[in-house]
Amino acid sequence: MTFESTLANLQRKVWSGSIPFEIRLSNVECRVYDRSDPYLLHAFFQSALIDPTSEPRIGWFSFQDVPLHWHYPTGLLYDLYSGAKPHFSTVRRHIRGSRPSEERDRERDRPASQQSGAGLGMDDNLSGRIKEISLRDLDDVVMDGGYQNSDDVGKLPWKLVVHFSDYPMDALIQLDKDGKALEDVFINSVKEASFARHGSGKVVMSLGENDSKQLWKSVEQNDLLMFNAINNKLLNAPGATMRSIPFRVFLPTTSHAKATLSPTRGSALSAPPGPAGSPVVSSPNPGQEATASQNTASILRMIQRLLPPTLAPSSRQGQTLGTALHSVLPTLFPSRRQPVLAWPVIHGAVVPMAAPLEELGKWASYADGWVTVGVVMME
């Protein structure tokens, strides 16, 4: 398989992935029994157990009493909340758990210039080969059919609860009857990514209304061919050059992770604004500020950066996932080459740190164009 076909196959696997669900009606809303039987999502709204006057738009889902944000990808929510172990490449599975705690401590305590993979003067051929192997490994670990593997026993199907009352307005924005709110959030995120990528809104604004509708329709219908027809106009616009790679990191919400991620002087969470853009901790809803009364478990902590494609303006060394994570979260990712404290996860798979960020943006980003990484703490 050629390198180009590997990339195309990776994108196909991402789009063909799925997560099985087990949906139950909230016990307090069940009109017939104290506890309802589980239903498949596509058949659920036809059940007589639900008040027939209920509308789908007033429904909301929760996992372990935590409201789930409808404007974030389902796979990202699963990676962050379910507790399932991410997938590892069968080719490089020996990396997992092979670094004893003493070695991790030594790696973390080394100066940045002495960390593994930091500042290595690799020639272009070797560097390119390492990145190609990394993407092939990612293609190996992103499985056909999605998240189902032996490590997910007990986690799948993902057990959610659906509610039609007591809408958590402090945590979620309610959907409208016509579904325009969801479309608007998606299109706005696409525009934001395109502006970040090219430094202006010219490329995305050049799309006609029909193209925008087709882009959203491709997501609704999970149509990769239709999506690529429009997305290629955003990625390969004539005369446009890539200035930055839109990059988001979502942080875990466990008490251990919060202790690890507490802002300190010089940390990524307290860093002043710089050329790459300042960190942004997300509020629970688009366009809504977080308040002290909100359920903190429902607030996903997100850092957003615009990263240059190369490590320096005059350098030909491209940005990798490892260099990106080290620049954004140096405390969690002290090494540019190996995960030490946490795993970087995209679409349920642990991504090799040497994977080129630009290629991830083209082939493994979410449909809105952002390279979105979930951080899963090591056990």
Q: Identify the residue with better confidence: 208 or 286.
A: 208
Residue 330: its pLDDT value, please?
95
Give yes or no for residue 334 having a pLDDT over 90: yes
Give yes or no for residue 22 having a pLDDT over 90: no
Report, as an integer, the average pLDDT of 241-248.
Answer: 93
Residue 84: its pLDDT value, please?
84
Domain map (residue ranges) of the chain: 93-148+243-377
Give yes or no for residue 255 having a pLDDT over 70: no
Question: Are 370 and 189 within 8 A, CB to CB?
Answer: yes
The share of the chain scoring above pLDDT 70, in percent, equals: 64
Structure tokens belonging to residue 12:
């196909």
Report d(CA 162, CA 171) in Å as an integer: 15
Q: Which amino acid is at 82?
A: S
Structure tokens belonging to residue 118:
């930091």
Question: Are 355 and 320 within 8 A, CB to CB?
Answer: yes
Residue 322: its pLDDT value, please?
96
Q: Which amino acid is at 141?
A: V
Give yes or no for residue 226 having a pLDDT over 70: yes
Residue 317: its pLDDT value, please?
87
- Whether a cis peptide bond, with omega within 30° of 0, leads into 157 is yes
Residue 359: its pLDDT value, please?
92
| Those residues with Cβ within 8 angstroms of residue 343's Cβ, 6 or more apart along the chain or in another chain | 86, 350, 375, 376, 377, 378
The answer, as to whether pTM is greater than 0.85, is: no
Residue 109: its pLDDT value, please?
47
Report, as an integer, the average pLDDT of 125-150.
Answer: 53
Report d(CA 130, CA 122) in Å as an integer: 10
Report d(CA 364, CA 326) in Å as an integer: 20
| Those residues with Cβ within 8 angstroms of residue 166's Cβ, 6 or more apart along the chain or in another chain | none
Structure tokens belonging to residue 162:
């659906």
Give yes or no for residue 372 having a pLDDT over 90: yes
Structure tokens belonging to residue 233:
């106009």
Question: Are 70 and 182 within 8 A, CB to CB?
Answer: yes
Assign 128 to helix, strand or coil: helix
Q: Identify the residue with better confidence: 42 or 375.
A: 375
Render pLDDT for 182-198 as a digit per residue (tens, 0 to 9).
899 999 999 999 999 99
- Mean pLDDT for all residues in the chain: 74
Residue 43: its pLDDT value, please?
32
Question: Are 344 and 88 within 8 A, CB to CB?
Answer: no
CATH classification of 93-148+243-377 is 2.40.33.20, yes or no?
A: no
Residue 10 — very low, low, confident or very high, per pLDDT cuts 50/70/90?
Answer: confident
Report, as an integer, the average pLDDT of 70-93.
Answer: 78
Q: Identify the residue with better confidence: 155 or 362.
A: 362
Give yes or no for residue 76 having a pLDDT over 80: yes
Give yes or no for residue 230 having a pLDDT over 50: yes
Render pLDDT for 270-329 as a digit per residue (tens, 0 to 9).
333 333 344 444 444 554 444 433 455 557 789 999 999 999 877 788 999 999 999 999
CA 105, chain centre distance (Å)? 28
Report, as an integer, the average pLDDT of 101-125.
Answer: 45
Q: Identify the residue with better confidence: 10 or 195.
A: 195
Assign 339 to helix, strand or coil: coil
Start-to-end Cα distance in the chain = 35
Among the ranges given (33-37, 150-154, 229-233, 303-307), the one the predictor scored with the smallest mean pLDDT = 150-154
Report d(CA 279, CA 249) in Å as an integer: 10
Report d(CA 332, CA 344) in Å as an integer: 10
Structure tokens belonging to residue 36:
């309802």
Report d(CA 182, CA 194) in Å as an integer: 19
